[in-house]
Amino acid sequence: MNLGPSPEDTIAAVATPLGEGGLAVVRISGRQALAIADQVFRPAGSRSVVPSAAPSHTVHYGFLAPQGVRVDEVLLTVLRAPRTYTREDTVEISCHGGVVVTRQVLEAVLAAGARLAEPGEFTQRAFLNGRIDLTQAEAVADLIHARTRLAASAALEQLGGRLSQRVRAIREDLVNLLAHLEAHIDFPDEDIAPDTHDRMLHRLEAAATSLQSLRATARDGRILRRGIRVAILGRPNAGKSSLLNLLLGHERAIVSAQPGTTRDTLEETADIRGIPVVFVDTAGLRETVDDIEAEGVRRSRLAGESAELILHVVDGSEPMHPDDAALRDEWAQRPVLRVRNKCDLPPQLKPADFPDAISLSTTTGEGLEALKDSLERLVWSGGVVAENLPVAVNARQADALARGEAGVRRAEAALRSQASLEWVALDLRIALGAIGEIVGQTTTDDLLDSIFRQFCLGK
Ligand SMILES: Nc1nc2c(ncn2[C@@H]2O[C@H](COP(=O)(O)OP(=O)(O)O)[C@@H](O)[C@H]2O)c(=O)[nH]1
Ligand SMILES: [Mg+2]
């Protein structure tokens, strides 16, 4: 793992986004954090103390003044190990959020002996020092990157240890089982009693089922973290751009009575019932002699192919057009929601021609909630609600769960076929290794590197 020169280093970084803001925070963590703070900070006031003499969890007013030259007026927080994010001595300097000021504060701290932190290094230390496990470290990144409240609350659950608890419970049971098996291996003369044998099989089966059901949450996890792409498709003038604007709640796309107005695809993210949805508005699908429009139609088709879900929008105030019938049939096997738009006008479209369609009017907003309901139902595999959010594992966790489950199933098969207990134990150890990776009990340097590299600087 790339820890830099040594974990003995005291590290520092700007923890707030770069750019102008009211405040910025420079964070320092490590053995020398307080000594470094002493060098750069001049407390103000008569009863003031230097950072190294200050009690833990106290805030101090003063000046950042390396070598006696004032750089900024700041608030400095002293946090002593072990009750800190990294479990190391930590100092946080809140300075004014100007680009130059922030850089000067950071430079002063580095000049006093700190090293610039790598991305995610504070969190990496929290993990290495045992304050959080790997699922919790990943939850920190998920929380920072969350695009909806649902995604944020899922991340917070994981940060609180919801996933860890479930994984640890499964692991603990398998560890006990392994100890049991090993005792029998050590005393080969004693046969396993039939009912003990059955109980062992039952426990392996239960563990495999639990691992499988955790892994099944990966789809929801992917949706929460990455969102889904929904392409809005249909003929020109059906009201696709109007629908995009309605879904976003603001006028993003140009709406016009002139067919062929939207020529390029245009995408924007909206929060639909907690789901981050990337809506892609497209050019109307029709035969055209205009080169630019033809390119737009080609891109629409591409958008439709790469989207997880299609919103097929049809103008309900007109009879079914052969092009729409062709699109309807073309997408029969795809996840698609049919929208019969312009329901504020007298209907001309026969329901049988466009079955299961949601009646909607982008003009009056009628049908919008029904559309969101359908979208929500189609997206989640189970009933996900914010108050009762199940765990939602990420791709790395799902991969480890799959290997864990495979190992448990092999152990189960070996035990069932009366194979040597050594084989059963071997498969179980492989499974335990994989399960241990989830929380970080067993890890490799590469794995840790790839996880923490995704973090922002200063976290
Ligand atoms: N009456 C009515 N007109 C609509 C509705 N939705 C869109 N329109 C009109 O239909 C025309 C085409 O809309 P637009 O969103 O640009 O369609 P697009 O080509 O599919 O993107 C515009 O004149 C809109 O004002 C609706 O629900 N009711
Ligand atoms: Mg349009």
Q: For residue range 65-82, what is the model confidence (pLDDT) as tens digits? A: 999 899 999 999 999 999
CA atoms of 75 and 61, how far apart (whole Å): 5
Render pLDDT for 437-459 as a digit per residue (tens, 0 to 9): 999 998 888 888 888 888 888 88
The number of angstroms, rounded, from the C-alpha of 44 to the middle of its chain's C-alpha atoms is: 43
More confident residue, 259 or 158: 158
Q: Nearest-CA neighbor of 31 among 108, 111, 109, 114?
A: 114
The mean pLDDT value for 106-112 works out to 97
Question: Ligand 1, residues 232, 233, 237: which to mutate, most atoms within 8 A of Cβ?
Answer: 237
Q: What is the DSSP string of 13-70?
A: EE-S-SS-EEEEEEEEESTTHHHHHHHHEEE-STT---GGGSPSSEEEEEEE-GGG--
- H or E element, residue 436: helix 421-439
Q: Which ligand is nearest to the CA of 233?
A: 1
Ligand 2 centroid to 225 CA: how many Å?
A: 29
pTM of this prediction exceeds 0.85: no
Tokens 């590299």 locate to 453
Distance of alpha carbon 303 from alpha carbon 50, whole angstroms: 60
Confidence class for position 382, pLDDT limits 50, 70, 90: low
450 Cβ neighbours under 8 A, 6+ residues apart? none
Tell me the average pLDDT across 84-93: 97
List ligand 1's pocket residues with C-beta within 6 A: 236-242, 255-257, 261-262, 284, 341-342, 344-345, 361-363
* Ligand 1 atom nearest 341 alpha carbon: 27
The full set of domains in the chain, from first to last, is 11-131 (3.30.1360.120), 136-217+393-440 (1.20.120.430), 224-386 (3.40.50.300)
Residue 400 has pLDDT above 90, yes or no: yes
Q: Is the pLDDT of residue 203 over 90?
A: yes
What's the average model confidence in pLDDT over 177-189? 87
246 in Cβ contact with 342 (< 8 Å):
no
Residue 51 is predicted with a pLDDT of 97
Q: Whose CA is nearest to atom 17 of ligand 1?
A: 239
Average pLDDT, the chain: 91
Res. 195: pLDDT tops 60 = yes
CA 399 to chain centre: 16
Position 6 scores a pLDDT of: 53
User: pLDDT value at position 301?
Assistant: 86
Q: Which two tokens stand for residue 185?
A: 């291996």
Please choose, from the candidates 226, 265, 231, 271, the residue with its C-alpha nearest in 3D space to the C-alpha of residue 248: 271
pLDDT at position 192, please?
Answer: 78
Give the nearest ligand 1 atom to 313 CA.
20
Q: What is the pLDDT of residue 389?
A: 58
Q: What is the pLDDT of residue 457?
A: 82
More confident residue, 195 or 205: 205
Q: What is the pLDDT of residue 343?
A: 97
CA angle 86, 92, 93 (to 5 degrees): 160
**In the prediction, which pLDDT does 387 show?**
45
Nearest CA to ligand 1 atom 2: 342
As a whole number, mean pLDDT of residues 6-14 equals 87
Query: Is the pLDDT at 246 greater than 60, yes or no?
Result: yes
The predicted structure's pLDDT at residue 1 = 46
Indicate which residue's Cα is closest to atom 3 of ligand 1.
342
- Residue 447, CB half-sphere, CA atoms under 13 Å: how many? 19
Long-range contacts of 203-207 (CB under 8 A, 24+ apart): 203/173, 203/174, 203/177, 204/177, 204/408, 204/409, 204/411, 204/412, 204/415, 205/412, 206/173, 207/170, 207/173, 207/174, 207/408
Report DSSP state, residue 129: T
Distance CA 189, CA 184 (A): 8
Write down the pLDDT at residue 388: 47
For residue 2, what pLDDT is reported? 46
Given a cut of 80, is residue 7 above it in pLDDT? no
Q: Whose CA is nearest to atom 28 of ligand 1?
A: 342
Q: What is the pLDDT of residue 188?
A: 73
Give the number of the ligand closest to the Cα of residue 311: 1
* CB-based neighbours (< 5 A) of ligand 2, an ion: 240-241, 262
Output the residue whose Cα is nearest ligand 1's atom 26: 342
CA-to-CA separations, 121 to 2, 9, 129, 297, 323, in angstroms, rounded: 10, 11, 12, 47, 56
Q: How far apart are CA 408 and CA 203, in angstroms?
A: 10
Q: CB-side exposure of 401: number of CA atoms within 13 Å?
A: 26
Say yes or no to pLDDT of 241 above 90: yes
* pLDDT value at 5 more than 50: no
278-304: average pLDDT: 85
Task: Report the pLDDT averaged over residues 98-119.
Answer: 96
Which residue in 406, 236, 247 sits closest to 321, CA to CA?
236
Report how far ligand 1's centroid is from the alpha carbon of 417 (Å): 67
